[in-house]
Structure 1
């Protein structure tokens, strides 16, 4: 079983936005719904899926949605589900991908440790992982 994290954005990310982040990270995208992609570096992999606001509401409870909204400062419109393999490098990769999304759109991360993190908090965590 893989680890998972989720990016929530208050922006209306398009499929093209999603693809651009993955492709610019050296990854691959597939067609279909939900829209999926993957990124590999060495022996590490992460897999991503873009979901609409409907999926957020269907698969989460009101308390979780409120927590994401509180940190984000607005209502989440889309989510990007991220599944990680169990390598240590994958834990760095997903943070780096989050920062690529957050550079262009307002985002928060529900991370693998079940914490909801702002962009600044993710950046600090990423730097700590780099050593």
Structure 2
């Protein structure tokens, strides 16, 4: 009976040694990776931003092209845009929305809020 217990203990000690060795190897790999990350961070900090090539397009334009959500109906419909631009200086937004509703089918209609928001964006750009 003692031999069986001793064999079990030796087997467990062997498994503990194997696990400890694997743990040490993993820890050394993590230390090496951490050291490499520190070197990379240091190299990044030393890069002179002025030496980078200039961007040819303003950042705001790039962001505008990749905005989430649906694009404006008015921006995507040149005829609707021309219709609104031809009348915007002599009609209120409510009157303009009514004129759009009279002239365009339901799928192309826009309300006063959409016209107002589009007009404000046009003035800003």
TM-score clears 0.5: no
Give the number of the structure whose residues are more often strand, by fraction: 1
Rg (Cα) greater in structure: 2
Q: Which protein, 1 or 2, shows the higher relative CO under an 8 Å CA cutoff with sep ≥ 6?
A: 1
Q: TM-score, normalised by structure 2?
A: 0.23
Q: TM-score, normalised by structure 1?
A: 0.22
